[in-house]
């Protein structure tokens, strides 16, 4: 089937070693217009919008939080949230049992941290978004009164302590939430019902009903990209991808540091 829409992961895939869009990447994506180029990421919307502006694609939908939130024309077309009850349990575990894990809570463009520690500063630097400092219990109480949940829970810290949390989730919440380990020290927790694959299908149904998932070309590098790359028409892995991602990809391009996405797109010219 002909490719009519392109989706790309951001971190480790689209951005270079400086976590920025290279001049070549910007030029290639602009050249593709009017073929839609959709950013699909575990990031919050605010951490994606500045990239859309650089690419002149602000008018296009975005898929945030691995599919937990899909926006089109500044409106929510799909939202899937983790309950405040489950989030409270995760927060209590991260601060108890002698653990010292950083916890970030996200809802749409809200990002809350209990304090501006090493991990919060690092994530702020990576995403160019600053968090709101607020006690976890205050955030959860506010969300509960507003009938809101977390689109993502980000936990950062010692790899062995993260292992402990992974086991806790598997034992207590395996039917509700899932954790994607982007690094040994990073665990991104989302509702189990969503994925980048389901998000693309939802986006197509709402915005591009004339297309099927086989009309989609997608780029990725990590575990949360596996389903997406397997299900689209052409799934492309950057060379720095996890071995499991490289194994299932239809094609492999150069690393993100070598403008892998742009180099692949250039061949489509």
Contact 19, 224 (CB under 8 A): no
pLDDT at 95: 87
Q: Which DSSP symbol is given to 235?
A: E
- Judging by beta carbons within 10 Å of its beta carbon (0-12, 13-18, 19+), is residue 34 exposed, middle or buried? exposed
In tens digits, what is the pLDDT along the chain, a chain of 269 residues? 799 999 999 999 999 999 999 999 999 999 998 999 999 999 999 999 999 999 999 999 999 999 999 999 989 999 999 999 999 999 999 988 788 999 999 999 999 999 999 999 999 999 999 999 999 999 999 999 999 999 999 999 999 999 999 999 999 999 999 998 888 999 999 999 999 999 999 999 999 999 999 999 999 999 999 999 999 999 999 999 999 999 999 999 999 999 999 999 998 87
Architecture of domain 5-79+194-266: 3-Layer(aba) Sandwich (3.40)
Alpha helices in the chain (DSSP H): 23-32, 46-55, 84-95, 118-127, 136-145, 159-172, 196-207, 226-231, 243-248, 260-266
Q: Does domain 84-191 have CATH number 3.30.1240.10?
A: yes
| Residue-level pLDDT at 250 | 98
Q: CB of 172 within 8 A of CB of 47?
A: no
Cβ(77)–Cβ(61) below 8 Å:
yes
Angle subtended at Cα 180 by Cα 141 and Cα 95, rounded to the nearest 5 degrees: 40
pLDDT of residue 183: 87
Q: Which residue ranges does the chain devote to CATH 3.40.50.1000? A: 5-79+194-266
Distance between CA atoms of residues 100 and 74, nearest Å: 37
Range list for CATH 3.30.1240.10 in the chain: 84-191
HSE at residue 147, side-chain half, CA atoms within 13 A, is 1
Ramachandran bin of 67, using left for φ above 0, alpha for ψ from -120 to 50, beta for the remaining angles: left
- In three-state secondary structure terms, 103 is strand
């Amino acid at each position: 089937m002909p490719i009519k829409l392109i989706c790309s992961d951001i971190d480790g895939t689209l951005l270079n070693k400086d976590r920025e869009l290279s001049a070549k990447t910007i030029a290639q994506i602009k050249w593709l217009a009017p073929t839609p180029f959709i950013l699909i990421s575990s990031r919050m919307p605010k951490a994606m919008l500045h990239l859309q502006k650089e690419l002149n694609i602000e008018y296009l939908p975005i898929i945030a939080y691995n599919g937990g939130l899909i926006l089109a024309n500044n409106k929510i077309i799909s939202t899937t949230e983790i309950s405040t009850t489950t989030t409270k349990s995760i927060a209590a575990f991260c601060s108890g049992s002698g653990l010292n894990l950083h916890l970030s809570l996200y809802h749409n463009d809200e990002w809350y941290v209990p304090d501006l520690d090493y991990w919060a500063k690092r994530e702020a630097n990576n995403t160019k978004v600053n968090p709101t400092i607020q006690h976890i219990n205050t955030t959860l109480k506010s969300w509960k009164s507003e009938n809101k949940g977390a689109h993502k829970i980000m936990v950062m810290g010692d790899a062995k302590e993260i292992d402990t949390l992974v086991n806790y989730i598997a034992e207590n919440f395996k039917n509700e939430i899932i954790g994607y380990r982007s690094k040994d020290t990073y665990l991104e927790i989302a509702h189990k019902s969503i994925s980048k694959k389901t998000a693309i299908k939802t986006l197509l149904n709402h915005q591009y009903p004339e297309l099927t998932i086989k009309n989609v070309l997608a780029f990725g590098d990590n575990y949360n990209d596996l389903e997406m790359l397997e299900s689209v028409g052409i799934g492309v892995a950057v060379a720095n991808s996890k071995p499991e991602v490289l194994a299932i990809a239809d094609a492999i391009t150069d690393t993100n540091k070598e403008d892998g996405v742009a180099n692949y797109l250039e061949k489509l010219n």
